[in-house]
Amino acid sequence: MQFKKSAVIGGGLALIALLGVYLGFALHYQDTMLPHTTFAGVAVGGMKVADAQAKIKANTLDKQYVLDDQDKQVATFTGNSVGTFQDVGKDLVALKKDQNPWAWPAALVGGEATAADDSTHSLKLDKKKVDTFANQTVAKLNQGRTQTTNASIAKKDGEFVITKETYGNALDKTKVANLVTKMVSTGQTKADLKSTYVRPTVTAGSAKLQSDLTTLKKLSTVKGTYSIAGDSVTIPEHLIKNSVYYKDGSIEVNPSVFSDFLAQLATKYNTIDKTRTFKTTNSGTVSVPAGTFGWSIQQSSEADALAATIKKGEDFTRHPLVSGSGQSFHGSEVGKTYVEVSKAKQHMWVYIDGVEKISTDVVTGKPKQDTPSGAFFVWSKQRNATLKGLNDDGSKYASPVSYWMPIDYTGVGLHDSPWQPQYGGDWYKEHGSHGCVNTPPTVMAQLYSIVPAGTPVIIY
C-alpha cells in the first residue's frame, strides 16, 4: 500500500511539473513568436517583434543574393538594391496576433508555423526597383546570347514549310524580376537563371500552325480570271503564288505584287484617254478623239480588292474596279444606245437598243466656238435651266432652256433652242451656238424623255 501511495504522489508531482512547464512556455509565447515561425525565409521563433524585425532586416535587406547561370555566378544584388516599402514591424505584430500561445506544443512538433511562400508573411518589394534591376541585368547578360524563336511558316524553294522552334538562352525580364522577388521574399540566397530563359510560345506541332500551312498552300493554287471588255484574262499563277505570305502568325496577300500586271491591263484596256473608231450612220467609219466618255482601271483599289478575293481561297472570275463611264464586259463600250452628232452634216441621230428613234437637223457651235469632237456622255439631266456665258463681243448672256443635258465639264451639252429659226445646212456658220448642240424644242423634249443619264454622245 505504501508503494502505491508513493507512486500516486510521484505521478501527481510529475503532472504538476508538466503543467508548470506548459504554463511557463504559454506565458513566454504571449510576447514572442511560436517555435519554427518564419518570416520572409528568416527564422524568428521565440523572438519578440522588435528582435525579429532587426533580424529580418539584417538577413534580407542587407543580405547578398547570387544569380548563377550554367554553374557560374553572373550577378549579385542585395535586398536593399531592390527596395522595400513594407512596415515589417506592423506585419510581425499582425503575425503574432494570429498565433495562439497556448498551442505552442503543436508548433514545437509541427514544423514551421508560417510557410516560406506565404504571401501574407513575406517581404513586399518595390516593384519599380525590382523591374529596374531586372531590365539592367538582362540587358547586360543577354549580349551575345542565342535568341529563342517560335516555330513559323516560311517559303523554301517556292513552297510553304513549317520552320521549327529554336531554344536559346536569352533571359526573360519578367521571369528574372519574378525570380528576384521570390528569392528576397523567401530568403533564398542563390538561384539559377535557367528557369528564366525565354521559351518558344509556338511549336512546330501547333494546331494553328498546321491549319495555317494548309490554308497557305490552298491560297497559293487559287486560279483567277478577269472578264474585261469582252476578253477573258488569266491572272498569272506565279503572281498569285508570290502574293501569299505568312507574317507574325497571320496569313496575308500582298496587293503590290499585282501592280505591274494591273498597269499593263490599264494600258491595254483603259478607254478614257484613247481615240476610238466609230461606225457612223451615213459617213462610214471615223476616228473620234477622247472626251469625257470612257473608263480606267482603279489600279490601287483593284489590287486591294484582288488580294481580298484571293484570300477567300476559291477560284474566281471578277471584273476590275473602274472609274468613268461606258465600261462593257462584252466588248463594244458604246453599245446600242447612243446619241450621234455630225457637225459636217449638222445632224443628230438617237439610237435606243440599236433602233433609230430620232433623226433631226441641229445647230452646232460657230466656227470660232466650235462644238468639240469626241466621245462624251450625258452626265446630268436638268429641267428649266439657265445657261450663262459670254458673247463674241464680251457681253454676258443668260439663256433659259427647258431641257439641259451636259456632256462635258466645260459647259457643252444638248439643249432646246427656241431662239433658232432654222436648223441644219450652213446656218451654224453665222448663227451657231457657243459650243452646245442646239436642238429643236419639240425634238429635245422627246430626246430628254428617252435618253437616260450615262448615254454616250459621239460628236465628229
Residues annotated as catalytic are 415, 436
- Distances in Å between the Cα of 28 and the Cα atoms of 23, 34, 43, 101, 222 are 8, 9, 17, 8, 85
- How far apart (Å, rounded) are the C-alpha atoms in residues 96 and 47? 10
- How far apart (Å, rounded) are the C-alpha atoms in residues 289 and 103? 108
- Distances in Å between the Cα of 154 and the Cα atoms of 128, 236, 242, 248 are 40, 22, 12, 11
Strand partners, 458: 340, 375
C-alpha cell at 11: 505521478
Amino acid identity at 120? T
C-alpha cell at 7: 507512486
**Sign of the alpha-carbon torsion through 383, 364, 367, 379:** positive
